[in-house]
Amino acid sequence: MRSLGLFALALTLVVVVLGAYTRLTDAGLGCPDWPGCYGFHGVPKSEQARQLAAERFPDSPLEPVKARNEMVHRYAAGLLGVTILLMALGSLRPAHRTWRLAAWLLLALVLGQATLGMLTVTLNLLPFVVMGHLLGGFTILALLFLLACRGRPSAGPPVRGLWGWYLAGLAVLVVQIALGGWTAANYAAMACLELPVCQGDWLGQWQWSAFHPHGVPAESYQYGVLSQPERITIHAAHRLWAMVTVLALLALAWRLWASGLRGWSLALLLGTGLQLALGVMNVVWHLPLAVAVAHNAGAAALLLILTGTGERLWRDREVTKWQEAHCCPETGS
């Protein structure tokens, strides 16, 4: 079960990166139907198959590269679903009962992800659904990493007094990831091409309507439907909250270092610095594909670092509670 869980973790990371690559290459509608592609199990290759695809979807001309990117992502996600199903079934054995709750929760999340994947296509990249799909993938990744961390021995005495700092840092990071997903889903990554400002008077162009969950009604949301001021608003919000995120994570890293968790502290420092650098590079170099995909992977890495940190702090909390319940300060026992 542990090996299966580690394989699922690695596969989820691949799926998350492939999802980012699919979105950034505008291949989210590379196949206009679901779960197949133009009515086929894979990308239509023969001339006859392509003619049939054109007849079935005359308003969605086949672009083989985009269709391939979309189907590779779907195949990888399908393999992940099968892997987690095997984990759920395996957890029914008495020897693996400690995995049962987590495995079936993961299976429920995967089924939810499959539904969001279908809605992403059938609702033509509705931004709220696209962002939800991203957050669902990150949630599965974090839970699998939490399972991988479970059972590791703690080095050193229990660390106390950091749980509030940790929850604050985690909440700030989750909001930033959601803002990044909203930026990508609304094609607002290129709305601001300057640093540190954003297209001059960005504050005067601020539009709260940019964060409406349903957005502007449209037949398709590919390439975005919001106005330029709304896209500037989204991009500026992502940048501003990035500064809050950096400060929160640096403060948490400092507290971790002072408390003796220097490995997690260094990982958090490096991850935060790298992610900030990738964000700046995206703006300066106008969103190169490799850097943009790495920026998505960097967000996933930061979430994993905080997940591992949280697992250690939670174990320390449990140890502290046990000590307080069973030890007697008056007698020194």
The total of other beta-carbon atoms located within 10 Å of residue 326's CB is: 8
Residue type, 275: Q
Contact 133, 113 (CB under 8 A): yes
155 dihedral zone (left: phi>0; alpha: psi -120 to 50; beta): beta
Distance CA(214)–CA(61), nearest Å, equals 27
Nearest alpha-carbon partner for 306 in 249, 260, 262: 249
240-278-187 Cα angle (round to 5)? 65
DSSP string, 258-271: HTT-HHHHHHHHHH
308-311-314 Cα angle (round to 5)? 150
Distance CA(146)–CA(308), nearest Å, equals 7
Contact 117, 34 (CB under 8 A): yes
Contact 239, 280 (CB under 8 A): no
Contact 44, 50 (CB under 8 A): yes
Catalytic-labelled residue, pool 47, 55, 63, 70: 70
Handedness of CA 167, 172, 178, 180 (dihedral sign): negative
For residue 70, indicate whether it is catalytic. yes
208: three-class secondary structure by DSSP? helix
Positions annotated as catalytic residues are: 70
